[in-house]
Structure 1
């Protein structure tokens, strides 16, 4: 009887937790729902009080004006190109460094890794001025390399992937060594596929971070054609006598790629976060 009572209490607790998580999920999705529905309304309906929960008609002129009167397609391409290239290269570099810290033995490894971890506590804004001067000295302002190269080295990625490589048994690497495999072959064909969940999770986190990297993109993109979607939409927000419908539509377009990326890589993200929390 005690066992059945305990199971009943656990079922009730699970039900309460499920209801609570569902309510929190709905609350977190409300801003996104409000953003999308307002993008399908004229500006007058957005300011209407009390507001309409759903638009009375599908008003698509906000999106037409955004893509016809503003270089929104170029902004979208810039954002996707910069975010994808930066994320891909940063994940590769992070995986290489994390593998070295996890599996290789070299002098000063622990001290160097401690410096990596310590740098995570330094805000990016503290070194943005010397970094800006360095980019100006290279004459990279208003170019893609200025938006991409300074963001390639991410200590967080090294810290995150190191735990994945450490969870892989050393016997796999030793067996490959006995079979004559090179260090690069072991990394590329053995270690990297095993760490795929962690790499997928890091890819999502980095992509969202670089997509939303407003400050650095604002400093580097001087011309309107080099603006990313985040900077371009923010520019619309600063106009006098603004068209609120246009701004909301721009914000909705900027949010959609991140949502799609998360949906596409959701499986790897959940596996990566769960696996990273357990170290064998």
Structure 2
């Protein structure tokens, strides 16, 4: 009788908790809903008060204008190239460095790792001027290379992946070495597949970060041909008589790739965060 009463009480609390979670989930999705629905409205309907919670018009001309009057497709391709290449390069460099810090023994390893992690405390905005001078001296201003490679020089991926390599027993590496596998083969064939959840989480987190890296892309890419979607969409806001629905359409186009990336990698992302929580 007492157990049944406790079970009924727990079920009641579970229902209340689920209702609260669903409410806040819908609340967090509301800006996305407002962005997408506003992109199909007329400009006057976007700013009218009281607002139309459901669009009374369905105007696809906003999207047609974005792609016909602006090089939005070129901007989108630039964003995809910059984000994808920078993220893949970061994963390659970070996984190698994280494996070295986790499994290899060399002099000054702990000190070097502390220096790496300390660099995360320096805001990127502080480094913009010296970083721009370096990129300018290398002749990479107004190029996609100037947007890509500075994003690879960060310790974030090393910090994230080292925790995953630390969770792998050293006995696996020792067994592989006894079987005659080289260090690189051990890393590729045994260690790397075991940290796939961490790589998936890093891919999503860093792809989104580079995609949204508006300030650095604005500084480096001033020419129309090298603008990214974030910078190009922001330039739509500079009109004296802005068409707000037109700008909502541009912002929606910029948001769609991030949603697609998260949908495809959410399994690894969730598993990576869960494994990180278990380690903590």
TM-score (norm 1): 0.97
* CA-CA distance at 1:5 after TM superposition: 3.6
Task: Give distance in 2, aligned partners of 1:245 and 1:62.
Answer: 7
Task: Give distance in 2, aligned partners of 1:146 and 1:24.
Answer: 40
Task: Give distance in 1, aligned partners of 2:167 and 2:14.
Answer: 31
Aligned-partner SS, 1:40? coil
Matched with 2:192 is 192
Where structure 1 has 5 or more consecutive residues not aligned to the other structure, the ranges are none
User: What RMSD, in angstroms, separates the aligned Cα atoms of the two structures?
Assistant: 1.3
Task: Give distance in 1, aligned partners of 2:143 and 2:112.
Answer: 32
Mapping of residues 131-150 of structure 1, within 5 Å: 131-150=131-150
Task: Give distance in 2, aligned partners of 1:99 and 1:7.
Answer: 47
* CA-CA distance at 1:57 after TM superposition: 2.8
Matched with 1:259 is 259
Range that drifts further, 245-254 or 48-57: 48-57
What per-residue deviation string (whole Å, max 9, x for no partner) do you get for residues 105-125 of structure 1? 111111111111211111001
Task: Give distance in 2, aligned partners of 1:265 and 1:16.
Answer: 30
Matched with 1:7 is 7
Matched with 1:219 is 219
Task: Give distance in 1, aligned partners of 2:180 and 2:230.
Answer: 49
Task: Give distance in 2, aligned partners of 1:154 and 1:8.
Answer: 51
Q: Does the CA contact (< 8 Å) of 2:42 and 2:57 recur in 1?
A: no
* CA-CA distance at 1:30 after TM superposition: 0.2
What per-residue deviation string (whole Å, max 9, x for no partner) do you get for residues 124-176 of structure 1? 01111100001111111111110101111221111111110111111111110
* CA-CA distance at 1:2 after TM superposition: 4.0
Aligned-partner SS, 1:190? helix
Matched with 2:65 is 65
Q: Does the CA contact (< 8 Å) of 1:94 and 1:153 recur in 2?
A: no
Task: Give distance in 1, aligned partners of 2:279 and 2:175.
Answer: 21
Where structure 2 has 5 or more consecutive residues not aligned to the other structure, the ranges are none
Task: Give distance in 2, aligned partners of 1:208 and 1:260.
Answer: 11
